[in-house]
Structure 1
Amino acid sequence: MPQSVSSLAAAPAGPSLLRRLARRNEIALLLSLLAVIAFFALASDTFLTTRNLTNVLGQAALPLVAGIGVAIVFISGEVDVSIGSLVAAIAIPLITIMNATESFALGVAGALALGLAVGVVNGYLAAYLGINSLIVTLGTLFILRGGVYLYTGQRAIPDDVMLESFFQLGNGRLFGVVPHPAVIAVILLIAFAYFLRHRPFGRQLYAVGGNPEVARLAGYNVRRVKFVAFVISALLATIAGILLASRLGSAVHVAGLGFEFQVVAAVVLGGVSLSGGVGSLAGMALGVLILQFVSNGLGMLNIATEWQLVITGGIIIAAVAFDELKRRRA
C-alpha cells in the first residue's frame, strides 16, 4: 500500500516538469535558434562550417558582453542606452595611454576608469536623483559621442605600439579555433549568471525590478541596487569596447554606432522585460545568438542590408508581441 501511494504521488511529477519546462522562455528561444541554424544550413553550403560558426561566435561576443550589463539594468527596472557611445569613448584613453606608455595594463586601467565614471554618473542621476534613466543615458550617449568626435577630429587614432598582448585579446583564437572574445564572453556570462542566481544581490535585483516598494519594505536598498546595476553595465560595455578596439587596432570615432540598439534588441528578444523584474542572462544570450545567426545567414544569401533590417525588426516585434500575449494569458 505505501508503495502504491508513493507511486500515485510521484506520477504527476513527469508531466508537471514538462509543463514547467515548456513555459520557460529559454526553451522556446533555444528551439528558435536551432530552427534558424537548420534553415540557413539547408539554404547555404558554407553556413554550417567551423570557420563560419566561429566567426559568428566572435561577432556575437561584443553584444553578449554588453548585453549582460544591459539585461541587469533592465531587470532592475531601468534602461541604459549609452553603451554604444561608451564603446567608442573608452578606446581613446586605452589607445592614447598605450601609445604614450607602451603599457597594455595602464591603457586598460584608463579605459576602466572612464567606464566606471560613466556608470557612477548614470547610476547617481537615475537612482539617487530620480531622473528618468532613458533620458539620463540618452544624454550620456550624445555627450560621449560628441566628445569622441571633438577629441578625434573624426579621424581614427591608430595603435602605434602594436603590443602583441593587445592584438591577441581581440584577434587571437583559443587552440586556433575559438575567438578569444567569445571565450571572455562565455566566462563573464557564466560568472554573472551564477552571481544573479546564487548571491543576495541577484535576489535583490529581481525584487527591486518587480516591485520597488515591496522590495523597500523588505529591507532592500532600492537606490543602491539600481546604482550598482548601472555601474556593472558601464564596466561590461567598457570590456566590449576594449575588445572592439583590439579588433580594429585603433580608436575609431564611428565605433559603436547603433550598438546600443543591437544589444537592446537582443535583450528584449531574449525575454528580459522592459518593465523590470523578469528575464535571465541565458535568455539574453540566446537572443544575441539568434540575431547574429540571422544576420550572418541573410548575408550569406546575399539579402540586401535594407531587407536584413526589416526582417530583424519583424523578429523583434513578433517576439515582444508573443511574450506580451503569454503574460496576459498567465
Structure 2
Amino acid sequence: MPVAPERTAAPARAAAPDTRTAGSRARALLSAREAPVVGALVVALLGAGLFVDMFATGRNIDFLVLSIAAIALMALPMTLIVITGEIDLSVASTLALTSATLGVLWEAGIPIETALWICLAVGAALGALNGFLVTVCGLPSLAVTIGTMALYRGLAYVLLGDRAVASYPRDWVGGARAPFLGIEGLPWIAVAVLVLAAAFAVLLHATGVGRSLFDIGNNDEAARFSGVPVAWTRFWLFTLSGVVASGAGIFWTLQYGTSRADTAFGLELQVVAAVLLGGVSIFGGVGSVLGVMSGVLLLGTIRNALQLFGISSEVLQIVTGLILIASVVTPNIAARVRAAREPGPRPAADPAPDPTQGEPS
C-alpha cells in the first residue's frame, strides 16, 4: 500500500497569510489619505518653528489656537456631512447670526446664561431648516446652504445692522481666552476641541452609526435598502452642524468681546478647505477626524506664519483658495496615477486551433 507523503510544507503555508496581512496593513497605513496632511503638518510646524521669528513662543501659540478654534469646531460636523456626500456652506453665517442674537438678547437684559441656551436653540433651528430642505424637499445641499448662507447673514444684519454690541461681562470675555490650568499656550477651548474631536472620532470610526455614514456616502440607495435611515441621518447631521456652529459663534463673540453682523465673513471657506485638505473626499464615503484636525492645524499654521511675515489678508485669502483647489485636485490626480500604475486584467489569449477540427465557419 503506498504511503501518503508527509505534509511538511503546511506550516510555511499557514504562516504566509499573516505576513501578507501585515504587509498590506503597512501599505494601507502609508497610503492613507490623511498621511500626506499629517506629514505636511509636521514639516510646517518644524519649518515655522525654526525659520519664523516668534512662532514658537507661548503667546503666539495661544493666538494660533484661538484663531483656529471656531474653524475646528465647525469642521467636526462638516466632516460627517461631507462623508455622506453633502455640504453645509451656511456655518459661518450661522455663527454670525448666533453672535447677533446673543448681542440682542444681552441688550434686552436677558441673563447671559439664559441667552446662551437660546442661541444654541437658534443654531439647532437653523441647522434643522437646512436638513428639512435637503431631506424632505429633496433639494441639493450645495444650493440650499448657499441660499441659507445669504439668508442667515441677512438676518444678522436685520438684528444688528452696522452697529456692534460690546458690553459683555468681563468675566465671560476673559474666560473665553483663559488658559487651561494656567498653562501658557493652552487655552481651555483647545481642550474642549480635543475632547469633542475624540467624541466625533469614536462616533465615526467605532460605531455602527459612523459606518452607516460611509455607506451613505458611497451609495445612499444601497444604504437605504440595507436599512439605514438615510434621510433622518442627514437631517440630524445638519441639525448638529447648526448647534456646533452656534457654539462656535458663542465662543467667537466672547473671545473678541463683541457682536457684529459681519463677523466671521468668509470663514466657511476655511472650514471647507480644512476638511478637504484633511483627506475627506468631496464626493463622500472617505474621511477621518484625524485628517481633518490635522488639516485645520496645517491651514492655521500656514496662515499664522504668513501673518508673522507681514503678509496681507488679501494674500492670505488667495492662499486659502489655492489650498482648497489643491485639496480637491490632488487626490484625484493621485488616484489616476495609482490606477495607471496598477496592471489591469490582461485579455485572454486566443486558444490555439485544434488540428483535428475543420476550419471555423
Same fold (TM over 0.5): yes
- Secondary structure in structure 2 of the residue aligned to 1:15: helix
Which of 320, 324, 336 in structure 2 is aligned with 1:316? 324
**Which whole-Å CA distance do the structure 1 matches of 2:190 and 2:260 have between them?**
22
Q: Which residue of 2 aligns with 1:29?
A: 37
Letter in 2 for 1:248: Y
Residue 29 of structure 1: how far off its partner (Å)? 1.1
**Which whole-Å CA distance do the structure 2 matches of 1:305 and 1:116 have between them?**
32
Instruction: Confirm whether residue 218 of structure 1 aligns to residue 226 of structure 2.
Output: yes
Q: Which residue of 2 aligns with 1:264?
A: 272
Q: Does the CA contact (< 8 Å) of 1:152 and 1:253 recur in 2?
A: yes
**Which whole-Å CA distance do the structure 2 matches of 1:75 and 1:316 have between them?**
17
Q: Which residue of 1 aligns with 2:50?
A: 42
Q: Does the CA contact (< 8 Å) of 2:104 and 2:159 recur in 1?
A: no
Larger radius of gyration: 2
Give runs of aligned pairs for residues 211-290 of structure 1, distance below 5 A.
211-290=219-298
Q: Which residue of 2 aligns with 1:142?
A: 150
Letter in 2 for 1:296: N
TM-score, normalised relative to structure 2: 0.85
- Secondary structure in structure 1 of the residue aligned to 2:104: helix
Query: Deviation digits for residues 100-141 of structure 1, max 9, x if unmatched?
Result: 456332111110111011111110110111011111111111
- Secondary structure in structure 2 of the residue aligned to 1:25: coil
Q: Provide the aligned C-alpha RMSD in A.
A: 2.0
Q: Which residue of 2 aligns with 1:91?
A: 99
**Which whole-Å CA distance do the structure 2 matches of 1:49 and 1:148 have between them?**
37
Letter in 2 for 1:237: A
Q: Which residue of 2 aligns with 1:204?
A: 212
Letter in 2 for 1:42: L
Query: Deviation digits for residues 210-256 of structure 1, max 9, x if unmatched?
Result: 11110011011111111011011111111110100111212111112
Q: Which residue of 1 aligns with 2:26?
A: 18
TM-score, normalised relative to structure 1: 0.92
Q: Which residue of 2 aligns with 1:55?
A: 63
Q: Does the CA contact (< 8 Å) of 1:62 and 1:185 recur in 2?
A: no
Letter in 2 for 1:30: V
The change in CA–CA distance for 1:169 and 1:210 in structure 2 (over 3 A counts) is: farther
The change in CA–CA distance for 1:107 and 1:30 in structure 2 (over 3 A counts) is: same
Letter in 1 for 2:50: L
Q: Which residue of 1 aligns with 2:356?
A: none
Q: Does the CA contact (< 8 Å) of 2:278 and 2:293 recur in 1?
A: yes
Q: Does the CA contact (< 8 Å) of 1:196 and 1:202 recur in 2?
A: yes
Query: Deviation digits for residues 76-121 of structure 1, max 9, x if unmatched?
Result: 1111101111101112332333444563321111101110111111
Residue 284 of structure 1: how far off its partner (Å)? 1.0
The change in CA–CA distance for 1:216 and 1:66 in structure 2 (over 3 A counts) is: same
Instruction: Give the gaps of 5 or more residues in structure 1.
Output: none
The worse-fitting range, judged by mean Cα deviation, of 265-274 and 2-11 is 2-11
Q: Does the CA contact (< 8 Å) of 2:38 and 2:294 recur in 1?
A: yes
- Secondary structure in structure 2 of the residue aligned to 1:156: coil
- Secondary structure in structure 2 of the residue aligned to 1:157: coil
The change in CA–CA distance for 1:275 and 1:158 in structure 2 (over 3 A counts) is: same
Instruction: Confirm whether residue 156 of structure 1 aligns to residue 164 of structure 2.
Output: yes
**Which whole-Å CA distance do the structure 1 matches of 2:241 and 2:62 have between them?**
26
The change in CA–CA distance for 1:51 and 1:248 in structure 2 (over 3 A counts) is: closer
Instruction: Confirm whether residue 129 of structure 1 aligns to residue 137 of structure 2.
Output: yes
Q: Does the CA contact (< 8 Å) of 1:62 and 1:181 recur in 2?
A: no
Letter in 2 for 1:66: M
The change in CA–CA distance for 1:213 and 1:33 in structure 2 (over 3 A counts) is: same
Q: Does the CA contact (< 8 Å) of 2:55 and 2:61 recur in 1?
A: yes
Query: Deviation digits for residues 27-62 of structure 1, max 9, x if unmatched?
Result: 211110011112222322311222222321221111
Instruction: Confirm whether residue 174 of structure 1 aligns to residue 180 of structure 2.
Output: yes
Which of 110, 113, 116 in structure 2 is aligned with 1:105? 113
**Which whole-Å CA distance do the structure 2 matches of 1:60 and 1:181 have between them?**
10
The change in CA–CA distance for 1:252 and 1:299 in structure 2 (over 3 A counts) is: same
Percent identity for Structure 1 against Structure 2: 32
**Which whole-Å CA distance do the structure 2 matches of 1:208 and 1:61 have between them?**
29
**Which whole-Å CA distance do the structure 2 matches of 1:187 and 1:99 have between them?**
33
